[in-house]
Amino acid sequence: MNVPTMADMMAQGKQPEVLFWVGAAGSYDDRAKKISRAFVKILHQANVDFAVLGTEETSTGDAAKRAGNEFLFQMQAMMNIEVLNGYEIKKIVTCDPHSFNTLKNEYPSLGGKYEVYHHTQFIQNLISEGRLNIDNTSLKGKRVTFHDPCYLGRANEVYESPRDLIRRLGVNLTEMKRHKETALCCGAGGAQMFKDAEPGNKEVNVLRTEDALKTNPNIIATGCPYCNTMMTDGIKFKEKEAEVVVKDIAELIAEANNL
């Protein structure tokens, strides 16, 4: 698929409307790569002039920061800021709430000031600007529950954008008992994704999957590649793969629009 890089743009003397920050998961993780592609399809459909950094993109340092390694985080941040500022980037969109949070909140005081959007916010804007329509028939009647990613929800109080998009799909949005401010973490945050859990009596992702299963969903919608992994593993653990799928909102929209 056509994914222009900033270097290409620069060579042609062009400045895109927005930079798509893909993130490590979206670039390398097989499951998350599908989310990146789904989002790009949506960008294409809405004729958004975008670019990625490609091989010039590197870890935001978010995971290192949550693990306590402030040095590594700031090294990564300063490297990224140098590249981003070099390309005079103003606007960034990302499918990863962790990148979203750190770029939006933690980069500014290090010299990186950008307008940062989570992809659900960005898509919502495309719709309100009349640049994109969502087909509300193909998924009609499906039961969908949305798992709030901590770094989108509590961390940045974005609760409505993903829900608004889900409602536009014509599906039946059912809420888990713990949702929005009281949502339970999927277990991946704070660098937990990269290590085994401490001794306990259950895995966090299993507990959260149980929350979701109580709503009898056909689809568990997420807005974060790490939540996606965690919930997918939870569904496997519960042996519910036949009945329930875990999908990013971008994938649902791409599916609804036959992209």
Partner 1 sequence: MQYLTNIFFIIALIAGIGFFVMNIKKLSRNIKLGKDVNRTDRKSERLKNMMMIALGQSKMVKRPFSGFLHIIVYVGFIIINIEVLEIIIDGIFGTHRIFLGVLGDAFYGFLIGTFEILAALVFVAVVIFWLRRNVSNIKRFLSKEMKGWPKNDGNYILYFEMVLMTLFLVMNATDPTFQQAGIGNPISQFITPLFDGFSADTIHAIERTAWWIHILGILVFLNYLYYSKHLHILLAFPNTYFANLNPKGQFNNLESVTNEVKLMMDPDADPYAMPEEGAEETVPEKFGASDVTDLNWVQLLNAYTCTECGRCTSSCPANLTGKKLSPRKIMMDTRDRLEEVGRNIDTNNGVFVDDNKQLLNDYISPEELWACTSCNACVEECPVNIDPLSIIMDMRRYLVMEQSAAPQELNMMMTNVENNGAPWQYNQQDRLNWANEE
Of 23 and 217, the one with the shorter C-beta distance to partner 1 is 23
Runs of H (alpha helix) within 129-217: 160-168, 204-213
**Residue 47, interface with partner 1 (CB under 8 A)?**
no
Of 100 and 122, the one with the shorter C-beta distance to partner 1 is 100
Single residue of 14, 47, 49, 70 touching partner 1 by CB under 8 A: 70
Residue ranges in 99-138 that form contacts with partner 1 under rule CB under 8 A: 101, 104-106, 109-110
Under 8 Å CB-to-CB from 5, ≥6 apart: which residues?
51, 52, 53, 54, 55, 56
Please state the closest distance from residue 216 (CB atom) to partner 1, in A. 22
**Residue 170, interface with partner 1 (CB under 8 A)?**
no
Give the C-alpha separation, 29 to 19, whole Å. 20
Closest by CA to 20, choosing from 80, 128, 95, is 95
Single residue of 39, 42, 48, 61 touching partner 1 by CB under 8 A: 61
**Residue 67, interface with partner 1 (CB under 8 A)?**
yes
Q: Are 53 and 6 in contact (CB under 8 A)?
A: yes
Of 98 and 172, the one with the shorter C-beta distance to partner 1 is 98
User: What letter does residue 91 receive in the DSSP assignment?
Assistant: E
**Residue 11, interface with partner 1 (CB under 8 A)?**
no
Counting runs of H as helices and runs of E as strands, what totals does the chain give?
Answer: 11, 8
Q: Which part of the chain contacts partner 1 (CB under 8 A), choosing from 26-34, 88-96, 136-144, 213-221?
A: 26-34
